[in-house]
Amino acid sequence: MRVPVIIPCILSGGAGSRLWPLSRSLRPKQFLPIFDGESLFQKTLRRFPAGEFAAPIVIANANHRFLVGEQMGEVSAANGEGAIVLEPVGRNTAAPVAIAALRAAEADPDALVLIAPSDHLVRDGDRFREAVRAAKPAAQAGKIVTFGIQPSEPHTGYGYIRLAGAAGGVRPVEAFVEKPDLARAEAFLKDGNYVWNAGIFLFSARTMIAEFEQHSPEILASVRRALDAATNDLDFLRLDADLFRAVPDISIDYAIMEKTDRVACVPMDPGWNDLGSWSAVWETFDKSAEGNGSLGEAIYIESRDNLVVSDAALVSVVGLDNVMVVATKDAVLVAAKDRAQDVKEVVERLKVNDRREVREHRRVYRPWGWREEIATGDRFHVQEIEIQPGGAMSEQSHVNRAEHWVVVSGTLEITLDGEARLMTENQSAYAPVGTRHRLANPGRVPARVIEIQSGAYIGDDDIVRYSDADVLGAEGDCGWD
């Protein structure tokens, strides 16, 4: 019998607001480089080395497509035409699992698919892969194998799976259990036959499609329609927006796992943490003797068990215990660590006022690279811009502002009213009010530019675009709803 490959399917549609203000809806948790300088998304990609695993299918929100592309490139993750499926809106987990099964089945209905969320931390990749290997025969035999995490504490924030049979290897599942109260969670921990439901599954494409047909045919049918009408765009496969919006917004647990009789479970203990809040992040950090964990520069004076995450400023904590401080350039969060979940309340309040701090950082990613606002004042606006090799901004002009550029590194092609010229390090150029201009990077290394906009009116809406390379978000919605 032919041994089918395992196709990792990385689910990256989430936009968790619980790590605000470091996470923003346009740069959610899975893309934050908070562990050894890499993001959880990148760590997830690295969990599936070529050879043992096929190239991954990534399913992501359309608004994150440049982040996905850039972060995959940084870890040299293999991809190919249509390997990144873009969801125009978030539709919970049933839809992406169906997408993964259908995409895998196109090449081989017996292919095995491993569903892996992109926003969890897994410390021990070897143990994780051991568990996957242990699950493989059962998956080939038609089981949907879920991987349960051995509980280390009576956590009330996760769903549990009650296992049957004897300890070790692949075990039958007796039931999926909703988040318990503390007394029940303690009983579960003592009992020993309960594991955390981490949303990680292995199955053959054929099996999952059959189960969808039996238990949730409307999801499968609507996902098929959105896939059939999808369009290819280099590495991206863009799902049809209207058709995908019609897909039921349901979790895979509810759609399939709680209904199927094919489920089995491999318990594992790979150093898993869902990083569902800042206090969970604190748990994963290396800590000082006083229990303080930091990312960025921090000073503690008579303070214990605190978390500091800072992307720029030096943070000092004096005489406080169990506090978290998350400092970004435009928003600082200071909270009791046991109130970490209530960060959502702050985000809710900001959303009501449509505050930018919810949506994006000062640095925003674009198809051609990124731009970061570094200063705004009366009559001026300064941005740092990086254009990737081959990248080009849209051609545009402005009625009220002039723009100046200073090339800091790399080479830039600037086109002014149709006339192109090359500029390199330390050179500068200038587009007077009304001039059509376009910046592009024809080189092999990123080009870094400082842009100064100056004029009596410097609002974002003073722009006439002659192409759309720069438009982000017109098609998608990744708001924290």
Q: Which residues bind a copy of itself (CB under 8 A)?
A: 21, 299, 301-302, 310, 312-320, 323, 325, 327-336, 338-339, 342-343, 345-346, 349-350, 355, 357, 374-375, 377-380, 382, 384, 402, 404, 406-409, 425-426, 428, 430, 432-433, 448, 450, 452, 454-455
Q: What angle do CA 115, 149, 282 make, to 5 degrees?
A: 100
Least distance to a copy of itself, CB of residue 214, Å: 45
* DSSP letter (8 states) at residue 30: G
Cβ 356 to a copy of itself, closest distance in Å?
10
Q: Are the C-beta atoms of 134 and 147 separated by less than 8 Å?
A: no
Question: Which one, 77 or 298, has the nearer CB to a copy of itself?
Answer: 298
Q: Look at phi and psi of residue 417 and say left if phi exceeds 0, alpha if psi is from -120 to 50, else beta.
A: left
Residue 107 or 312 having the CB closest to a copy of itself: 312
Helix ranges, 156-301 (H): 182-191, 205-215, 217-228, 241-245, 252, 278-284
Nearest-angstrom CA–CA distance, 95 and 219: 7
Smallest distance, a copy of itself to C-beta of residue 192, A? 35
Q: CB-wise, 137 or 434, nearer to a copy of itself? A: 434
Minimum Å distance from CB 448 to a copy of itself? 7
Task: State the distance between the two ends of the chain, measured CA to CA, in whole angstroms.
Answer: 47
Strand order in the sheet with 428-431: 363-366, 369-377, 380-387, 447-455, 401-409, 428-431
Closest CB to a copy of itself among residues 318, 474: 318
Q: How far is the CB of 5 from a copy of itself (least distance, A)?
A: 41
Token pair belonging to 401: 């502002």
Query: Could you tell me which residues come within 8 angstroms of residue 167 by beta carbon, excluding any fewer than 6 positions away?
Result: 192, 267
Nearer to a copy of itself, 18 or 366 (CB): 18
Q: Which is nearer to a copy of itself, 378 or 461 (CB)?
A: 378
Residue type, 245: R
Residue 258: CB minimum distance to a copy of itself, A: 35
Q: What is the closest distance, in whole angstroms, from the C-beta atom of residue 379 to a copy of itself in the complex?
A: 5
Q: Are 225 and 243 in contact (CB under 8 A)?
A: yes
Closest distance to a copy of itself from the beta carbon of 355 (Å): 8
Min dist. Cβ of residue 99 to a copy of itself (A) = 36
Residue of 164, 192, 188, 175 whose CA lies nearest to 259: 175
Nearer to a copy of itself, 95 or 323 (CB): 323
Nearer to a copy of itself, 3 or 301 (CB): 301
Q: Which is nearer to a copy of itself, 262 or 448 (CB)?
A: 448
Torsion of Cα atoms, 48 then 50 then 53 then 59, to 10°: 60
- Are 383 and 406 in contact by the 8 Å Cβ rule? The answer is no
Q: How far is the CB of 332 from a copy of itself (least distance, A)?
A: 5
Nearer to a copy of itself, 5 or 402 (CB): 402
Rounded to 10 degrees, the C-alpha dihedral 244/246/250/251 comes to -10
Tell me which amino acid residue 49 is: P
Please give the C-alpha separations between residue 47 and each of 118, 284, 442, in angstroms, as whole numbers. Answer: 11, 18, 34
- Single-letter amino acid code for the residue at 111: A
Q: How many Å separate Cα 245 from the centre of its chain?
A: 20
- Spatial distance between the Cα atoms of 151 and 131, rounded to a whole number of angstroms: 16
Question: In angstroms, what is the minimal distance from the CB of 406 to a copy of itself?
Answer: 4
Nearer to a copy of itself, 5 or 408 (CB): 408
Nearest to 52 by CA among 11, 7, 82, 97: 7
Measure the CA–CA gap between 176 and 163, rounded to whole angstroms.
9
366: β partners: 369
